[in-house]
Structure 1
Amino acid sequence: MKKVAKEMDNVVQRWLEEHKMKRSLCDASGEQRDFMDAILSALHGSSDEHLQGVDADIIIEATCLAILTAATYTTTSTLIWALALMLNNEQVMKKAQEEIDINVGRERQAEEPDMKNLVNLQAVIKKTLRLYPPVPLSLPHESTEECTVGGYRIPKGTRLLLNLWKIHRDPQAWSDPSEFQLERFLTSNKEIDVRGQNYKLIPFGSGRRMCPGISLGLEVLQLTTCS
């Protein structure tokens, strides 16, 4: 475990050095290319007092490692559910396979630009995340202001856990909520995505505190399911 942790730390450290070198060769206020660029910009010029004596490089490396390691179990479990659901719904799996054969073929691996054409695969992933969200109770949040939700007073500083599993199976929001119906995301709910814009489907949370690894997670899910 210590050996693997050291290897991962070395990889992230090389990424950080590469990003720093690129920033030194161009304007640091230029276009941000990825998550690490965003953290570098956010911490640029921060004082030791602001960082509470912790080295900025350590903060950046630890944050990136936390996202990568946190995504391991959640992505794996979602892939298992997606495959299990397709195996138990032969017609759904057949549609997804035919779609991949037509838009990608069998001579190469699927790539990110192909995803926009794989609507059945996208629907399978949405259905999987709806029925089996990787973190059913979401991550803990804290209310910054007192508010009232559904008639209940929520004091400032309250620790909050959202029951995403229950939200995704709410019969007032979904007809036959426990059924795996692929057509649901191909017709009436086609425009609903999983990026927190629609509150009846929020497997990654919503707002400023939603999962920062959503893009990575979705890309790995899509590309791996196609393989």
Structure 2
Amino acid sequence: MRLHGCAHMGSLGLLAGKSVHGFVVRNEWELNVDIGSVLVHMYAKCGFLKNAVWVFDLMQERNVSNWTALICGFCQEALSLFKMMQEAGVRPNEMTFTGILNACAHKGMLEEGRKYFKMIKDTGLEPRIQHYGCMVDMFGCKEHKQLDIADRVIGQVLKEIKPENDGGVYSLVSDLYVLNEKWDDAERSTESQKMNMRSEEEKIWIVYDLSFVLEENIKARACSMEYWLARILQ
């Protein structure tokens, strides 16, 4: 749907998104789960939160995508929305937890962040790099400066996820150092990222016959990271 593109364009896509929304209204299309979800996501991502809530309230049926879009848009109200979502019997997904952990990081709620991170596994999901990133942000922020924990999380991430295959890991490290004015460390991290970057051509050798091996390795690394982080967050 065209609205998906509008949402990812941010404010630049808002005008086009409103035009599509107007088309939906004029033609009396039903505001079903799919259309409503994209509209809520578009308005929330563009910062038009009142519009997002207006569409959300008009929906007769809501799913995890609708709730997640609203949670990600409303940082301050995210925890209350998450509770309402649970009470409505809607099961959260990976993006939902990314939004809720971001909210905890922005509000400096360390204990709440620990609780929601552990809840990822309890829900039957596996923590992803973005979830670990939220935890590093949470402990590494200037207000709390629990850099010992943040550094340990980063150290384990660097061991478990090969940085040359995931530039986001190095970006995570560099951002933490910059935030805490460790300029030399930030520069070294940036240089390491440049040295270890692989071209897309070098990645093409991964063939389908090896996919099951890669999948098992990824699962093993994820389990190891989950166990280790659970230990240090106790």
Q: Same fold (TM over 0.5)?
A: no
The structure carrying a bigger helix percent of its residues is 2
TM-score bucket of the superposed structures, by smaller chain: under 0.3
The structure carrying a bigger strand percent of its residues is 1
Q: Which has the higher contact order (CA 8 A, sep 6+)?
A: 1
TM-score (norm 2): 0.24
